[in-house]
Structure 1
Amino acid sequence: MAFVLAWIPAVGFFGIFLAVLGIILGIIGLVAKGRPRNVALAGTIVSGIALLISIIMSVVYAAVLVTAVDEAVTDSTSAEIAPEDEPSSEAPAEETNTPQDWADSTFGTFDPISQTGTGDSVIALPDATAAVVTATHDGSSNFAISVLDATNQSTGDLLVNTIGAYSGTTAYGFNAIAQGVNLEVKADGNWSITIAPISSAPALAPSGAGDAVFLYDGEASTAAITHDGAANFVVSEETGDALSMGLLVNEIGPYSGTVPLSGGPSVIDIRADGNWTFTVG
């Protein structure tokens, strides 16, 4: 029986027990007196062979079982595929370009430059195609600021030309005939000048007095403009387009009218000696 069970998977483990039992009974039969020894000897031999076969087959079956389980676990792990990321239904966020970003990319940016002095002087300009110039003057005679090119010739930008005290903000580089390199200052009193990027200009104000520069970021519309001064009143809009002249108003003295306004981003440059209003829409 042990010899037969030794060849059957799983049941072979019981064959080991029966083989051991057969060997014990065979040995008892061999040593017992008055009993035939041939049968006992044969049973002992067969039980020994069965024990050996049972052990070998049990080891083989165990190894096969372990290998099968290991392969099953490996296959199960390999079969698990990480789910692919589903494409997002949300539209990608649009980049927001501010008027300041537009101004920096269109006209250039740099650290502001501030200088003070008395009388005539020359100030080196930063490496930018356009900039804002804020100036003050406390003299009583002519005060003028103009932009010069590399050969010290005028670029066509006359920023300030007044008599006596002055305080205001202007811009250069929009319609210049050459790249500005220096500012020429003509003065009889104390002055202060700050040169800053176009992006430093504030948002368009509805009213003010004197020279000013603003950033506009609205839609194309109309602008109702007034002025109560006595000298030249000029309003221009710079969009960065090569073919855009942008001259909205050019009058002497008081003014009241409505003009077309291009969509932003753009720069609004106001030259005035009096109070003004600027109403969009």
Structure 2
Amino acid sequence: MPSVTLRVGAGDVEVSALLLGADGRVRGDADMVFEGQPVHPSGAVRHEEASLVVELGAVEAAVERIVVAGSAGGGALSAVAPDGEAVVACTVTGGPDALAVVLAEFFRESGGWKVAEGGRGYASGLAGLVTAYGVDVAEEEPAAVAGPVPLTGVAKVPVQAPPVAGAPAARGPVGAQPGATAGEPVGALFAPPAVGGPLPVAAAAGQVAAPAPPGPFPPADRPYELVEGWEFGPVFEPFVVEGRGNDVIQLDDRVGDGPVLVEVAQEGRGYLGLFTLDRRNRDETDFLLNDLLPEFRGSTFAQVPKGRPLRMRLAADHRWILRVKPLAAARRLEGTLHGYGPELLVYRGGGADLRVDFQGSPEDGRGYAGIQSYGVEGRTGGRLPAMDLLLNEIGPLRQTVPVPRGPQLLHLRAEGAWTFTVQELD
């Protein structure tokens, strides 16, 4: 197989992908990609409009096989390259009693990828198929219960979720200057949702309330201030680019070595992914952002490499703005804070209990929420220290987690709206 981006589908058959390790099993929740969980954390496999987009060259080294499954007894499988050529085309059947079938398997061999036609059918449907690859699927709730069907185990397969659509285009750069605007939150990428208290989570019957919308699409000259007393990371004038569609972004020489804050906003509904590029101009292993949130607003951190500029690949479907700022320009976590999507926060208080209210994904009411903590006391530069995982959950939640005393960087990955409330310990 050519190591290019392939669009894999089977006509009207709903397809999904399972990314498998050397033991032939999924490693965790994110290794199953389907309509209700449409993006793998690596960004290498995505579900779009009843088909899969598979970037073979970007698949993590730990993934040995990619199984393409269909929720039907068979289908006409095709894998189309960017130039429109069908590099795979075959008809697959799983037998007369099959309700789900393995359509194909991509597998590594001799430093590249090959593909094998499928054909294993499962009379027990998709639940039986995914179970064979290490997925534990819970029994459905009684029909009278409203909301998504809860599933437990390694990966979750909701019954139904709305598709996501979008279309790409092209861009141009702009500059920006710091300033001050009354009524806007200092250091925030966007105006927070108009929520007067903790976000509502799922009701007893499983119904998830609609998330509060984010603020307006932010202007290029968004004002900011540095958190007083924050010393970690380089200080520089902000770098701002705006555009539309996919692009490659290279920082100029105003940014010094070390970790920096990266803010991105995209209008509309569609995919947004951000990846750092290595010396060979290829995606590095970890992604910076990887989301399908409508009206995306988010921030994260990136490490500026020593001796060369930071280069990033942005995959986007619509108009976007990207800003690179000092870490000290991130929002400060104190009191009660509302947000929408992933965000990098700075914390300078003592040891505290952090109340987390996560509303879930606006697409299916589930969504991922995770918090990574980096203690930077006594540090002024270099790389970030080892990470502590404070939260790692799927679906709406209301939990309290302990936060070590600052200075701390808290890296939140959230596929929806959230509220944080800090209660410092005596």
Compute the TM-score of the two structures, normalised by the length of structure 2.
0.38
Deviation at 1:233, TM superposition (A): 0.8
Q: Assess, with a 3 A threshold, how the Cα gap between structure 1 residues 147 and 180 changes in structure 2: closer, same or farther.
A: farther
3-state SS, counterpart of residue 393 of structure 2 = strand
Does 1:238 pair with 2:374? yes
**Deviation of the 1:243 alpha carbon:** 5.5
> Residue type matched to 1:107 in 2?
G
1:262 pairs, out of 393, 401, 404, with: 404
* Higher relative contact order (CA closer than 8 Å, sequence separation 6+): 1
Task: Report if aligned partners of 2:272, 2:289 keep a CA contact under 8 Å in 1.
Answer: yes
Cα distance, 1:258 vs. partner?
Answer: 2.1
- Judged with a 3 Å threshold, the aligned counterparts in structure 2 of structure 1 residues 161 and 262 are, in CA distance, closer, same or farther, namely same
Aligned twin of 1:221: 352
Looking at CA atoms only, which structure, 1 or 2, has the larger radius of gyration?
1
Could you tell me how far apart the structure 1 residues matched to 2:269 and 2:385 are? 40
Q: CA–CA distance in 2 between the matches of 1:156 and 1:234?
A: 19
Distance 2:351 2:357 in 1: 19
Residue 390 of structure 2 corresponds to residue 248 of structure 1 = yes
Please give the alpha-carbon distance, in whole angstroms, between the structure 2 residues aligned to 1:101 and 1:173.
21
State the shift of 1:157 in Å. Answer: 4.0
- Kept in 2: contact 1:139–1:187 (CA 8 A): no
1: distance between equivalents of 2:404 and 2:309?
A: 26
Question: What letter matches 2:415 in structure 1?
Answer: D
Give the deviation of 1:252 after TM superposition.
1.3
* SS class of match (1:269): strand
SS of 1:108's partner is coil
- Residue deviations 1:111-164 (CA, integer Å, cap 9, x gap): 111101111111113333211122121254322112223333444442322236
How many Å separate the matches in 1 of 2:236 and 2:341? 26
Q: Describe the shift of the 1:220–1:244 C-alpha distance in structure 2 as closer, same or farther (beyond 3 A).
A: farther
Contact 2:370 2:412 in 1 (8 A): yes
Unaligned runs of 5+ in 2: 1-225, 361-365, 378-383
Given that 1:109 and 1:128 are in contact with CA atoms closer than 8 Å, whether structure 2 keeps it comes out as no
Pair 172,118 (structure 1): closer, same or farther in 2 beyond 3 Å: same
The AA in structure 2 aligned to 1:207 is L
Letter of the 2:392 partner, please give it. N
Change in Cα spacing, 1:160 to 1:243, as seen in structure 2 (3 Å) is: closer
1:268 is paired with a residue whose SS is strand
More strand by share: 2
Instruction: State the AA in 2 paired with 1:262.
Output: P
User: Which residue matches 1:51?
Assistant: none
SS in 2 for 1:151: coil
SS at match of 1:102: coil
Q: Percent identity?
A: 26
Distance 1:180 1:149 in 2: 10
Q: Which of 341, 352, 358 does residue 210 from structure 1 map onto?
A: 341
How has the CA–CA distance of structure 1 residues 263 and 180 changed in structure 2, closer, same or farther, with 3 Å as cutoff?
farther
Q: Which residue of 1 aligns with 2:131?
A: none
Q: What is the Cα-based RMSD across aligned positions, in Å?
A: 2.7
Q: Deviations over 1:156-186 (max 9, x none)?
A: 4423222364332322247x9xx98211111
1:180/1:144 Cα in 2 relative to 1: closer, same or farther (>3 Å)?
Answer: farther
TM-score, with structure 1 as normaliser: 0.56
Deviation, 1:101, is 4.2
Partner of 1:138: 267
Change in Cα spacing, 1:162 to 1:169, as seen in structure 2 (3 Å) is closer
Structure 1 unaligned spans of 5+:
1-97
- Structure 2 distance, partners of 1:243, 1:110, is 22
> AA paired with 2:316?
A
Partner of 2:417: 275
1:268 positional shift: 1.9
1:108–1:130 Cα contact (<8 Å) kept: yes
**Contact between 1:141 and 1:187, CA under 8 Å: does it hold in 2?**
yes
Contact 1:149 1:180 in 2 (8 A): no
- Alignment partner of 2:328 out of 199, 205, 229: 199
Q: Name the SS for the 1:199 alignment partner.
A: helix
- 8 A contact 1:135–1:168 mirrored in 2: yes
Q: Which has the higher helix share?
A: 1
For residues 23-34 of structure 1, the aligned pairs below 5 Å read none
CA distance in 1, matches of 2:389, 2:282: 24
SS in 2 for 1:107: coil
Among candidates 97, 102, 105, match of residue 230 of structure 2: 102
Change (3 A) 1:199 1:187: same
